[in-house]
Amino acid sequence: MLSRKYIDNLLKKYKIDISFNQITQNQMYIGAIVLYIVYFSIYKPTFITNLVQNTVVQLSILVGLYFLYKENTLLSIFAFIAFIFTLSTSKNEESTSLPIIQSREGFTDKEDDDEEKEDEHGDHTHDDDEDDDDDDSVDGDGDDDDEDDSDEDDDDSDEDDDDSDDEEEFSTDNLLNKNSINDTFKNLHSAIHKLENFININDNK
């Protein structure tokens, strides 16, 4: 009674001329169904969604709506709308709950992120050290190549010197003296003159 008086005072305050005596029982049921839809759309109670997902409850509600349709068509329509709204809301919650679970599986703790960052930093520093070692090895190889080239040049120069020494040793100048040919001709010429003189001496005798 207090609530009715309070509502009457509100209606008078806002100048709404509605009397509870004019509200029928059918209208009260329809209003209750509308309030249920509004309440369910805002709060979405899990108890009702879990209850409606039961197959036995769904069949019982459909049978009750069928008998209600025979007695009060308008009320059964509103009740059916509320039932469909409840089912669709529960199915939407099931479909939207799966991506949330998948996204939670993809989350990592802050400590894991820090460890991964440290590992990546360690890998980068290790790679940098390896790059430095590679550069040092490349520089060392370059120095070794330069040393090998200088050694090869020295060997080539030594071989050239040896070849020149061999040529000097086996040259004709060393085998035969420069004046040996001239001396041979002179000796031959003198021998011929001696032979002529000997022949002439024998003829004169």
The reply to whether the predicted model has a pTM over 0.85 is: no
* Structure tokens that stand for 81 in this block: 């709308």
Segment 22-30 long-range contacts (CB within 8 Å, at least 24 positions apart): 26/72, 26/74, 26/75, 29/75, 29/78, 30/74, 30/75, 30/78
Q: Of 28-32, 110-114, 156-160, 166-170, where does mean pLDDT reach its minimum?
A: 166-170
Q: Are 20 and 4 in contact (CB under 8 A)?
A: yes
- What pLDDT shows up at residue 78? 92
b/e sequence 35-69, b meaning 16+ C-beta within 10 Å? ebbeebeeeeeeebbeebeeeeeeeebeeeeeebe
End-to-end Cα spacing for the chain: 197
pLDDT confidence bin for 64, thresholds 50/70/90:
very high
Q: What is the pLDDT of residues 125-155, one digit of tens each?
A: 555 555 555 555 445 454 555 555 555 565 6
Give the model's pLDDT for residue 61. 92
- Count other Cβ atoms within 10 Å, centred on residue 86: 23
Residue 176 has a pLDDT of 47
Asked if 46 and 90 count as a contact pair (C-beta separation under 8 A), the reply is no
| CA atoms of 134 and 183, how far apart (whole Å) | 73
As a whole number, mean pLDDT of residues 167-182 equals 52
What percent of the chain is predicted at pLDDT more than 90? 12
> How large a percentage of the chain has pLDDT more than 70?
41
Task: Report yes or no: 168 and 162 within 8 Å, Cβ to Cβ.
Answer: no
For residues 104 and 84, what is the distance between their CA atoms, to the nearest angstrom? Answer: 31
Cα–Cα–Cα angle for 51, 69, 26, nearest 5°? 90
pLDDT, tens digit, 9 for 90 and up, residues 148-162: 555 556 566 665 665
What is the residue-wise DSSP string for 61-87? HHHHHHHHHHH-HHHHHHHHHHHHHHH
* Averaged pLDDT, 47-61: 89
Q: Where are the domains of the chain?
A: 2-98
Residue 170 confidence (pLDDT) above 50: no
pLDDT on residue 47 = 85
Rounded Cα distance between 34 and 48, Å, is 16
Phi and psi angles of residue 41, each rounded to the nearest 5 degrees, phi first: -70, -25
pLDDT digits (tens, 9 = 90+) for 96-109: 554 555 555 454 55
pLDDT score, position 62: 92
Average pLDDT over the chain reads 68
Higher pLDDT, 145 or 88: 88
